[in-house]
Amino acid sequence: MKIKNRDQLLSQGDLESRRVILGILEDSLQQMDSYRILREMLHLEGSVLSIGNLRWDLEKKRRIFVVGAGKACNAMARAVEEVMGERISGGLVIVKGLEDSDGPGRIEMTEGGHPIPNEDGLRAASRILGIVDEAGPGDLFIGLISGGSSALMNCPVPG
């Protein structure tokens, strides 16, 4: 259940109408759930990773990195890590806030500023650039981008 104050919202007013509206909202939020969407899109069969209609034979990849930023990246990273597991070499995603379910994993999660960019986001964006700079032939990157990424992953050009 995504609506955390459901009981409070159902404590007054036209309760039947409120129940209907909250049900519609809950269903809508479930349909937009980034974890669920990615879990439905990502498939690993043997060594072949499928994302939608795209396919990669991971046996032909040297390393696999996951990088990104956004308010939904906590859930997105968990979904990718659940599917890919030990095949992930490393990664970093910048999120608005860490959640209880963001345990230690192969994809590091760090906080950045949102809606106002901050130094944490700048440092994290620089770290992502470092990961990209170290990549070589045969490496695969999975990019996770969701709303808020422009503030969370700020890396202004010099000048």
How far is the C-alpha of 115 from the C-alpha of 121, rounded, in Å? 11
Give, rounded to a whole angstrom, the gap between the first and last alpha carbons of the chain.
47
**pLDDT < 70 stretches in the chain:** 1
Beta pairing, strands 54-57 & 48-51: antiparallel
Continuous H helices in the chain: 6-9, 15-31, 34-41, 73-84, 119-134, 149-152
pLDDT at 4 (0 to 100): 86
CA atoms within a 13 Å half-sphere pointing along the CA-CB vector of 72: 16
Model pTM score: 0.86
pLDDT at 158 (0 to 100): 84
- Phi, psi at residue 51, to the nearest 5°? -125, 105
In this structure, CATH architecture of domain 61-152: 3-Layer(aba) Sandwich (3.40)
Domain ranges of the chain: 61-152
pLDDT 10s digits, 2-39: 788 988 999 999 999 999 999 889 888 888 899 999 99
Q: Sheet of 90-95: strands edge to edge? A: 108-111, 90-95, 64-69, 140-145
